[in-house]
Amino acid sequence: MCGIAGYIGNRNAPEILFDMLRRLEYRGYDSAGIAYLSKGKVVISKGKGRVDEVRRNSKNGDSSIGIAHTRWATHGGPSHENSHPHTDCNFRFTIVHNGIIENYKDLKQELVSEGHRFSSETDTEVIPHLIEKFYSGNFEKAFVESVKKLRGSFAVAAIDPEEPEKILVARKESPLIIGIGKNENFIASDTPAILPETKKIIILDDFDYGIIGKDDVVIKDLQTGDRIKREIQTIDWDIKQAEKEGYEHFMLKEIYEEPDAVKNALKGSNEIREIAKRISKYQKVYFVACGTASYAGMVGKYILERFGISSEAVVASEFRYSTVNAIDNNSVIIAVSQSGETADTIASVKEAKKRGAHIISVVNVVGSSLTRISDGNIYTYSGPEIAVASTKAYIGQLVSVTLIALFIALERGKITGDYVNEILHDLNGIPEKIGHILKNENEIRKIAEKLFKKDIFFYIGRRLNYPTVLEGALKIKEISYVHAEAYPAGEMKHGPLALLEEGVPVIAILPNDDLAEKMESNIQEAKARNATVILVSETGDLKVPPVDPLLSPILYIVPLHLLAYHISVLRGIDPDKPRNLAKSVTVE
């Protein structure tokens, strides 16, 4: 996600702000910028690219107050115009923002109708124009009134050259902290930006807003305006730990972000509904992707089949040389890719386009190559995924693919709107259910301690959870370097059963659905060969809360991500940087 920073004190704000942005770079970004106040004016330096590039091209000024931003694009691709900071029509009220403003389209429409001129495609730019609209002599009052209009998530900082003694901040869902210095104060999205300057911080809560001066910090309640007390904490992390927010590895941090990955993907529901209306007329549906993303595509295929709609899920390296020959203008390709830069997936899409196919992409990185050659894009909004092994992005893909399959079935009259609403209601409950699984991490680590010396793993599941076991097996392979086979459980007796013997671990997915008895038999077959069966179920070794079977892939993969992570660490491997692998495979 984006990173915001701010400084007010006696030292040179631009220098300090660029240093703070450098310490936010690990979060992943595509553009950066700063704004500072000098001689009654706002001075802005921003653009697409690295912090150092923006710094080299910036006008170095003498200022004691400023704000800054690293952008991870969500609305509007990476560009100079879309980079932050953003200002109002008169280049006065200047803000930086991290989060997603869900009602920005309505707000923007109203502001434009009132004569406001916008210069970007971002959701963020509505904020300075709202401040301009509500301003009647009091910056704080206009700021509060504007922020109260926002729906979605925000950590926002604002400055006004007419009131240069303060930075105004507010937060809801997106993190925002204040660093307490001596005759100076700092704001940032998280601790690495602040750590070298001060270890004393205040963590704002949702609906807090703050007036940050160089000698004082006042925090108030956004709804009531009442002053509130927030304790000053002392952080004892070093920078490296702080970048991982105290987690040992980015992969573990990103697994713990899986509840948010569900919430963020759900923010795309309306767009997905619109896209489904457009593509439901295409008779042939293909999910095309690589690796982990291809398993999300497979889940989409199984969900459509559940509703009587046939489709195909094909890995891109096969699709581009074979399946593509069957593509025509009655085909829709749903390409799934975290990076949006995977060579095989992009090549498949280009070949399919030549044959008249309609292209939809499910992507995490806004403005990536795949999004630029697609007819429509569904963003998972998972935020930057730093670890090579995909975890939270997979969860985001599953949510988006589940939604697109649901809405296609609805458009085709296979299911009712009531049923869709039921599933949407259950989806909203998934983040909490993932949280319950994460609370069980110690149990999962104990199972990893029993298994980490094994030299082969079997994963078995059926139907919607066949992709789940494929993903579980891939995770073990890519970060523990151990061979792992994933099989449709019903297939074991057609050969692989010969490999089972005393102590061979078999990870079995057993959701509470109409195939439970069949799965039970397969589990018995494994136990009869003295295999070590690890049951993933509501009451098994790896426990999962009850969930609608349609949504089971989203939940049942979480313990498998944690299991793979702990086995990797126990085998002395850095799960963030597995050998031979790249985060994005941009070559064939």
Q: Which residues are catalytic?
A: 2, 583
How many helices (H) and strands (E) would you count in the chain?
A: 20, 24
Piece of 97-105, 113-121, 184-192, 290-298 that binds ligand AGP (CB under 6 A): 290-298
Q: For ligand AGP, which is the closer residue by CB, 116 or 392?
A: 392
Residue with smaller CB distance to ligand AGP, 146 or 292: 292
* Token reading at 490: 């019903």
Burial class (CB in 10 A: 0-12, 13-18, 19+), 274: exposed
Told to check if 345 binds ligand AGP by CB under 6 A, we report yes
Q: Is 342 in the site for ligand AGP (CB under 6 A)?
A: yes
> What is the smallest separation between the CB atom of 477 and ligand AGP, expressed in angstroms?
10
Q: Binding mask 293-312 vs ligand AGP (x if CB under 6 A, - otherwise)? A: x-------------------
Residues forming beta bridges with residue 42, ordered by sequence position = 37
Rule CB under 6 A: say whether 390 interacts with ligand AGP: yes
**Would you say 6 or 291 has its CB closer to ligand AGP?**
291
Question: What is the C-alpha separation between 552 and 318, in angstroms, rounded?
Answer: 28
In angstroms, rounded to a whole number, what is the distance separating the alpha carbons of residues 558 and 256? Answer: 10
Closest to 264 measured CA to CA, from 100, 391, 82, 71: 100
Smallest CA-to-CA distance from 240 within 104, 386, 138 is with: 386
How far apart are CB 293 and ligand AGP at their closest, in Å?
Answer: 4
Using CB under 6 A, count the residues that bind ligand AGP: 15
Q: Which is nearer to ligand AGP, 293 or 507 (CB)?
A: 293
| 174 lies in the binding site for ligand AGP (CB under 6 A) | no
Q: Give the sheet arrangement for strand 167-172, strand by strand.
A: 86-87, 94-98, 154-159, 167-172, 208-212, 217-221
Is the four-CA dihedral 414, 419, 420, 424 of positive or negative sign?
negative
Q: What single DSSP character describes residue 49?
A: S
- For ligand AGP, the binding residues in 468-497 under the rule CB under 6 A are 478
Q: Does 339 bind ligand AGP (CB under 6 A)?
A: yes
Give the chain's largest Cα–Cα span.
81
Question: Encoding tokens for residue 587?
Answer: 């070559």
The answer to whether 509 contacts ligand AGP (rule: CB under 6 A) is no
- Non-local (6+) Cβ contacts of 386 within 8 A are 26, 28, 250, 254, 576, 583
Q: Could you give the CA distance from residue 108 to residue 264 in angstroms, rounded to a whole number? A: 21
Q: Which stretch binds ligand AGP (CB under 6 A): 34-42, 191-199, 383-391, 518-526?
A: 383-391
Q: Find the helix or strand (DSSP H, E) in which 508 lies.
A: strand 505-509
End-to-end CA distance of the chain: 29
Binding mask 431-450 for ligand AGP (x = CB under 6 A): --------------------
Whole-number Å distance between alpha carbons of 193 and 182: 17
Residue selected from 45, 74, 338, 382 as contacting ligand AGP according to rule CB under 6 A: 338
Is the Cβ of residue 122 or residue 345 nearer to ligand AGP in the bound state? 345
From 34-42, 88-96, 226-234, 285-293, span contacting ligand AGP (CB under 6 A): 285-293
* Burial (0-12, 13-18, 19+ Cβ within 10 Å), 528: exposed
Q: Which of 222, 347 has the CB closer to ligand AGP?
A: 347
Rounded Cα–Cα distance for residues 187 and 178 (Å): 4
Of all residues in the shown chain, the one whose CB is closest to ligand AGP is: 291
335 near ligand AGP (CB under 6 A)? no
Candidates 67, 333, 388, 523: give the one binding ligand AGP (CB under 6 A).
388
Q: For ligand AGP, what does the binding mask look like between residues 142 and 171, x meaning CB under 6 A? A: ------------------------------
Neighbours of 156 (CB within 10 A): 27
Give the residue from 84, 89, 59, 69 showing the smallest Cα distance to 17.
69
* Minimum CB distance to ligand AGP smaller for 311 or for 345: 345
Cα dihedral 219→222→225→228 (10° resolution): -30
Q: Give the footprint of ligand AGP on residues 413-432 (CB under 6 A).
A: none
When asked if residue 374 is in the footprint of ligand AGP (CB under 6 A), the reply is: no
Instruction: Name the minimum Å distance from CB 365 to ligand AGP.
Output: 8
For residue 216, the 8-state DSSP code is -
Type and span of the H or E element at 180? strand 177-180
Compute the least distance from the CB of residue 567 to ligand AGP, in Å.
15
Give whichever of 397 and 522 is closer to ligand AGP, judged by the CB atom: 397
Q: How far is the CB of 363 from ligand AGP (least distance, A)?
A: 8
Q: Where are the extended beta strands (E) located within 236-338? A: 284-289, 312-315, 331-337
Window contacting ligand AGP (CB under 6 A); options: 132-140, 232-240, 332-340, 405-413: 332-340
* Main-chain phi, psi angles of 163, to 5 degrees: -130, 70
Residue of 98, 280, 337, 400 interacting with ligand AGP (CB under 6 A): 337
CA–CA distances in Å: residue 329 to residues 139, 284, 355, 407: 55, 9, 7, 21
Question: Segment near ligand AGP (CB under 6 A), from 14-22, 33-41, 160-168, 385-393?
Answer: 385-393
Q: Are 410 and 304 in contact (CB under 8 A)?
A: no
Interacting residue with ligand AGP among 94, 122, 153, 292 (CB under 6 A): 292
Binding range to ligand AGP, per CB under 6 A, among 18-26, 333-341, 351-359, 373-381: 333-341
Token pair, residue 209, equals 């807003």
Stretch that binds ligand AGP, among 35-43, 47-55, 252-260, 388-396 (CB under 6 A): 388-396
Minimal distance, residue 254 CB to ligand AGP, in Å: 11
Q: Does 389 bind ligand AGP (CB under 6 A)?
A: yes
Segment lying near ligand AGP (by CB under 6 A), choices 71-79, 301-309, 317-325, 331-339: 331-339
> Which residues are near ligand AGP by CB under 6 A?
290-293, 337-339, 342, 345, 388-390, 478, 584-585
